[in-house]
Amino acid sequence: RKEVEQDPGPFNVPEGATVAFNCTYSNSASQSFFWYRQDCRKEPKLLMSVYSSGNEDGRFTAQLNRASQYISLLIRDSKLSDSATYLCVVNKRGGADGLTFGKGTHLIIQP
């Protein structure tokens, strides 16, 4: 079983729609969770951290379910500029440590 699994997509979504991704992780001892965004042939950039209580940043909402080892990302009122690959990322030990990345979910927002 892969350490972090995501649906690769692509998700083709009309502009203004709401889209949701999720991922699952295999290591129950994982400490920290993130969503990164990667544009084509660019470096990954942190979109948001994910907390058990759920957190929101503008149009983006992230949720963590530790019991199910499941992480989600919701994007509301999607923009053309949201087109990218969204990477689910886990830090096994917390603190300074190598990150474990999913392969990513490819999102295409259509005008």
Nearer of residues 33 and 78 to other proteins, judged by Cβ:
33
Shortest separation between residue 94's beta carbon and other proteins, angstroms: 8
Pairing of strands 99-101, 105-110: unpaired
Task: State the residues that interact with other proteins by CB under 8 A.
Answer: 4, 41-46, 87, 95-104
Nearer of residues 60 and 101 to other proteins, judged by Cβ:
101
CA 90 to chain centre: 10
Nearer of residues 58 and 111 to other proteins, judged by Cβ:
58
